Structure formats: C-alpha cells, structure tokens
Amino acid sequence: MKKNEFLDEIKENCSEILYISTVHILNKVYKENIDINENERLEFFANYRNYHIYLNDFAGTIYSRYASSVDNLYIEMCNYLNIQIDNKYTLEHTVIKLEKQTPQLLLGLTDEDIQKQTIEHFDEKLVAISNSTHYNDNLSEYESRVEKLKQNIFLVKNALQIS
C-alpha cells in the first residue's frame, strides 16, 4: 500500500489528531509516496518508542490544540490496525522508565507530596507490569529486571517509612 493510501485510510477512519500525527510521522520516515508493506507498517506502528521519537517536536499541537497524548494516539492506532497494545514495546518502555527512577532519585525528591505521588505511580506501574500478558508470557526475559524494581521501591518505602 502506498503511503498516501494509508494516510487516506487513517483520515477516513480515525481522529483528526491521529491523521495529522501520522502524516507528521510518515513524512519524517518516508519522503516519497512509496509502497509500505503491511508487516513493515504494523511493526513500525506497534513500536511505542517511534511515537515518542517522531512526535517529540509535535507535542505542543497534540497536547494543547487537541487535548490528546502520545498514549492516546498509540492506543487509537493500535486499535485501528488490530495491534495488541500489551506488547514487547510498551512493556520495555515501562520497564526502562521505572529503571531510570533509582532509589537515590526517589529519595532525593524534596517535595514530600511529589515524592509520595511518584512512589504511588511506581507501584501502579509495577502492578500493571505484573498483570501484563506479554510480561507473564516472557518471564525469563523480564523477571530479574522487575524484581530489581520491586526491591528498589521496597528500599525507598522502608527508608521513608511508607507502607
């Protein structure tokens, strides 16, 4: 399918912001109206990281003008293309985000409310990971990393005397 044919489908079947964002992404990736095979298209749009890479400079429009988010765009595109949202890309993105929130970083937050919110959010993400089908189907790949995250948040909670 040609790039412009795919864009026409998105324009006809999806939200305006998804269409505009898809145009933005595909114009960065493919300068010409080339053929994009279905597997390549599905793999590209399943990769959550691509939305962050190619929409980074478009965030203002997404958030302010359309009151949307990269997450909303990802979910809408995955639903349209029948891509499982609980996949290796979203799981890897979540694990990497949590790995960047080290105990030192969490303990170094000076605002107590922000610190508590961050810890609650961390806990919520760990629960989401534990409930993830992709995680449970690929335990050998992720289990040690997630266990380390659980240990880290346990240490932080102990240090702050949070239950």
Q: Tell whether the torsion through CA atoms of 129, 133, 136 and 142 is positive or negative.
A: negative
In the chain, which ranges are continuous DSSP H helix?
Answer: 3-13, 16-29, 38-46, 48-55, 59-60, 70-81, 88-99, 103-107, 112-131, 133-137, 139-160
Q: So what's the pLDDT on residue 20?
A: 96
Domain ranges of the chain: 3-81, 88-160
Beta bridge partners of 35: 2
**pTM beyond cutoff 0.75:** yes
Please tell me the distance from the alpha carbon of residue 36 to that of residue 156, in angstroms, as a whole number: 47
Q: pLDDT truncated to tens, each residue of the chain (163 aa)?
A: 999 999 999 999 999 999 999 999 999 999 899 999 999 999 999 999 999 999 999 988 898 989 999 999 999 999 999 999 999 999 999 999 999 999 999 999 999 999 999 999 999 999 999 999 999 999 999 999 999 999 999 999 999 888 7
Q: Alpha-carbon distance 40 to 21, whole Å?
A: 18
